[in-house]
Amino acid sequence: MKILAVRKRRRGFLLMEVVLAMMIFAVMSVGFTRALSAMRKNSRLVSEQMQIAQVVDSALTEALTLSSLEEGETLSMVGENNMEVLTVVEPLELENEEGRVLQQMFRITVIASWYKNGQQREVIAEGWRNLRLYKP
């Protein structure tokens, strides 16, 4: 009879071990699922930021490589999310080390703005250009 009593206890321990293992597996699965969800969310956010950076960089590069610049503003709509890209060209008055005023210097500012989740977002990029250095 002692043998039967020992077997019943082992069966009980086996069931308890399986239940404990399933609980540990469930807790780990929930944690893993949350981690994957956070990674997917971060991946989407980084991808969106890279697309915005490419739009701003492209607009700045386009303005910097024009053969002639004129003071003023240019507004354009880009992308699916109706992003407004404002390019502002303004003259700069800078002096070199000798105190001479540098001619035909321009500051080019690109401002991209859009709405996301009911909030206005904005990214700004800026560059300088000396027209005399880039004349063909």
Q: What is the pLDDT of residues 52-101, one digit of tens each?
A: 899 899 989 988 888 888 888 989 888 777 889 999 999 888 888 888 88
**In 3-state terms, what secondary structure has residue 101?**
strand
Nearest 5°: CA angle at 67, between 85 and 75? 15
**Stronger pLDDT, 133 or 40, i.e. the higher one:** 40
Sign of CA dihedral 90, 96, 98, 99: positive
Asked if residues 42 and 112 have their Cβ atoms less than 8 Å apart, the reply is no
Confidence (pLDDT) at 108: 93
| pLDDT > 80? residue 135 | no
* pLDDT value, residue 82: 81
Domain ranges for the chain, please list them: 2-134
0.75 exceeded by the pTM?
no
CB atoms within 10 A of CB 110: 24
Residue 26 has pLDDT above 70, yes or no: yes
Give the pLDDT band of residue 113 (cuts 50, 70, 90): very high
